[in-house]
C-alpha cells in the first residue's frame, strides 16, 4: 500500500507538477489549492504526510502548521514546507514543520525528502 500525501499550494501549476511527480513515484496524492481546507482534509483522509507552501492567501502555511500542531487528532502528521522564501526554513521550522524544501526543487530531492519524513519515528 502506497503512502498517502496531501499537497497544498496556491499555484495550480506547482500543485499539478508536484502531484504528477509524486504519483509517478508511487504515492497516492490529494492536491488542494485552498489552505483553509487542509485541516479538515487531514482529519478526513488521514494522509501519511503533508507538503505545504508557506505563503498562501486565506491562511499561510505557518498558520496552518500551528493550527495542525494544536489538534491532538492529527498533530503527529509529518509536515514538509516547500517554499521559495528566503527566510522560509526558519519560519517553517519555528511553526512546527518537520522539514523544509526550497523551490524550485529537484525531483529526486522531493522524493527523497518525502521518503525520509515518512520513515521518521513518530515523536511522543
pLDDT at 112: 97
Structural domain boundaries of the chain? Answer: 4-118
Residues 6+ positions from 80 with CB-CB distance below 8 Å:
49, 50, 51, 52, 97, 98, 99, 100, 101, 113, 114, 117
User: What are the tens digits of pLDDT across the range 4-25?
Assistant: 999 999 999 999 999 999 999 9
Work out the mean pLDDT of the chain and round it to a whole number: 94
pLDDT at 16: 98
Does residue 86 have a pLDDT over 70? yes
Does residue 1 have a pLDDT over 70? no
Range 4-118: architecture per CATH: 3-Layer(aba) Sandwich (3.40)
Amino acid at each position: 500500500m502506497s503512502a498517502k500525501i496531501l499537497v497544498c499550494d496556491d499555484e495550480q501549476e506547482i500543485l499539478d507538477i508536484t502531484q504528477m511527480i509524486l504519483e509517478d513515484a508511487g504515492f497516492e496524492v490529494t492536491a488542494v489549492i485552498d489552505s483553509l481546507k487542509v485541516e479538515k482534509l487531514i482529519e478526513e483522509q488521514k494522509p501519511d504526510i503533508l507538503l505545504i507552501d508557506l505563503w498562501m492567501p486565506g491562511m499561510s502555511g505557518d498558520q496552518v502548521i500551528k493550527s495542525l500542531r494544536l489538534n491532538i487528532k492529527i498533530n503527529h502528521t509529518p509536515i514538509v514546507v516547500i517554499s521559495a522564501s528566503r527566510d522560509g526554513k526558519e519560519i517553517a521550522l519555528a511553526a512546527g514543520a518537520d522539514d523544509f524544501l526550497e523551490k524550485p526543487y529537484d525531483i529526486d530531492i522531493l522524493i527523497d525528502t518525502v521518503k525520509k519524513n515518512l520513515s521518521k519515528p513518530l515523536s511522543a
